[in-house]
Amino acid sequence: MAMILAVIGVLALFVGWAALPLLPSLLEWRRRTDVKPLRVVRGADVDIRHFATAFQAWIGGHLGEALAACGAGGGPIEGRFEDGTPYVVLPDDAPARVTVPPAGPISCPAVTVGAGRLGLPARALFPLEVYGGGDVEVGEGTVCRAVLSHGDLRLDRGCWSLRWLHARGTLAARESCALHGRASAERALRLAAGCRFERLNAPVVAFGEPAAGRGAPADGAALAPWTAKDVPGLVEDAAGRWLVRSGLEIPAHRLVTSDIVVTGELVVGEGTRIVGSLKSHGDLHLGSGVAVEGAVVSGRDLAIGTDCRIGGPVVAERDARVGAAAELGAAGRPTTVTVRCLEVETGTVTHGTVWAHGGGLVLPRAAEGKA
């Protein structure tokens, strides 16, 4: 009997010892602690205006009366929110309140709320939100955490925004501004050369002044058709799509009426028109004057030449450069540009959203840069 117990004991010890490393997994299985879905505030991710909308509602709920009093001709009102954060409500066109420390930048330690037009001084730091009931003018080199303008929002040279900007009208940033986070406008958004950005949204996003003599895309009827039989390395031609192994170079001034998927690099010659979408697993180059009615997707880098037109989404897994006078999306047909880093020359216009995850930079158009 003792022997049987000993054998059972040793076998049980073996099973127990072998199963011991599973204990944390078994306990997690029985008493789950890491099963909550990832915290995603859907509105915050999907709607670029999420913060602006929330801030607007919050201001209305907390400072509605103060805003009304100031708007009716009253003087500035100062106070603190429930959590102790100070605020100042200013009447129309009143100067923002700032403090001048013995060292470091002048700054405003309060949420600044303007009942009407609001001007922020130059070279100042606004670490808390700014609200303007009318137009908001931000002085040169000023850094703001976030600004909501009920009218137009204008940033002078070298301004920074740290979290978000939103204008009910137009948002215009002069040279060398840095728009961290989100910047959006209800009507139009214009960034001058040297501006840096991350996520933009407006019906019209203009980089520099729109090109005056924007060349119209070539008429398809004037172009020579480029058909499947012309495609080297064609693997499949089905469902309106060409699948091409390795790289592909489409000659200039051709008309292509198919979607194209290329496993290597894709080069489209100038003036060519694509009635469909393009996707490459390698780099993708569009020559000047290329028109793509659908989407452009690159698995690596993407180069878009001058005067190009792209109707659908523009996606690059890595970095992209957009030449001058290009147009991405169209009025009434907003699209999305999403890349890692983006360099875009002045004169280009996009419609909808531009998202440069690693940052974007507005460059003077090549000719200007040389000049």
Partner 1 sequence: MANARNLMLDAELPWADAATRQEVLRLRRRGWGGGDIPEHRALRVSPVQREKLVPAALLALALFVAYLLLLGPVARAWAGMLETWQGLMDIPGQVSLVRYDFYGLLEFDVPFLSFASGLPGSGAWWWGLLFTLALAFGSYAVPPVILPLRYVLRLLAFFQGGAQIFFGLWPQAFPYDGAGYVHGMLIAQLMLVALVPIVLGFTYYVLDFGVARKALLTVMTMLHMIVLVPLQYAAHAYVIHHLSLLYMPLMFFVFGLTVNVLVFVSFYSWGVSWHHPMRLEDRVWARRQGEAGGNGNGAAGVAAALLALLVAVAGTAGAADLPPLTRSVEAGASWGHYSNGYGDADGQFARFGLWREDRWAWRFEAGRSARFGDESLDGGLSYSHWFGKTSVTAGVSSGTGDYIAHRYRFDAAVSRPIAEVVTTLGYTRIQSKGDNRSDGLGLSLVRYLPHWILSAQGRCDWGQPGDTRSVSGGVGLAYVVWRRMSIGVGYDAGDVSYLLVGPGQALVDYHATGFNVGYSQWFGAHWGLNARLDYGETPFYNVRGAVLSLFREW
Interface residues with partner 1 (CB under 8 A) are 3, 6-7, 9-11, 13-14, 17-18, 20-28, 31, 33-36, 38-40, 83, 104-105, 123, 125, 127, 129, 140-143, 145, 158, 160, 162-163, 176, 178, 180-181, 196, 198, 301, 303, 318-321, 340-343, 356, 358-361
DSSP 8-state code for residue 157: T
Least distance from partner 1 to the Cβ atom of residue 101, Å: 11
Least distance from partner 1 to the Cβ atom of residue 235, Å: 29
By beta-carbon proximity to partner 1, the closer residue of 25 and 213 is 25
E strands, 168-269, are 170-173, 178-185, 188-191, 196-207, 224-225, 234-238, 241-244, 248-250, 254-256, 259-262, 266-268
Single-letter residue type at 105: P
By beta-carbon proximity to partner 1, the closer residue of 118 and 146 is 146
Least distance from partner 1 to the Cβ atom of residue 304, Å: 11
Backbone angles phi, psi at 151, to 5 degrees: -115, -130
- With CA atoms as reference, report the closest residue to 206 among 354, 340, 371: 354
Least distance from partner 1 to the Cβ atom of residue 226, Å: 27
By beta-carbon proximity to partner 1, the closer residue of 94 and 200 is 200
Least distance from partner 1 to the Cβ atom of residue 14, Å: 5
Tokens of 49: 């205006």
Least distance from partner 1 to the Cβ atom of residue 123, Å: 5
Pairing, β 348-363 against β 196-207: antiparallel
Tokens of 39: 């915290």
Least distance from partner 1 to the Cβ atom of residue 104, Å: 6
Please give the angle made by the CA atoms of 344, 346 and 348, to the nearest 5 degrees: 75
By beta-carbon proximity to partner 1, the closer residue of 3 and 239 is 3
By beta-carbon proximity to partner 1, the closer residue of 3 and 238 is 3
Q: 65: buried, middle or exposed (CB in 10 Å: 19+, 13-18, 0-12)?
A: exposed
Strand, coil or helix: 16: helix
By beta-carbon proximity to partner 1, the closer residue of 252 and 341 is 341
Sign of CA dihedral 166, 167, 168, 170: negative
By beta-carbon proximity to partner 1, the closer residue of 66 and 342 is 342
What are the distances in angstroms from CA 4 to CA 18, 111, 212? 21, 79, 96
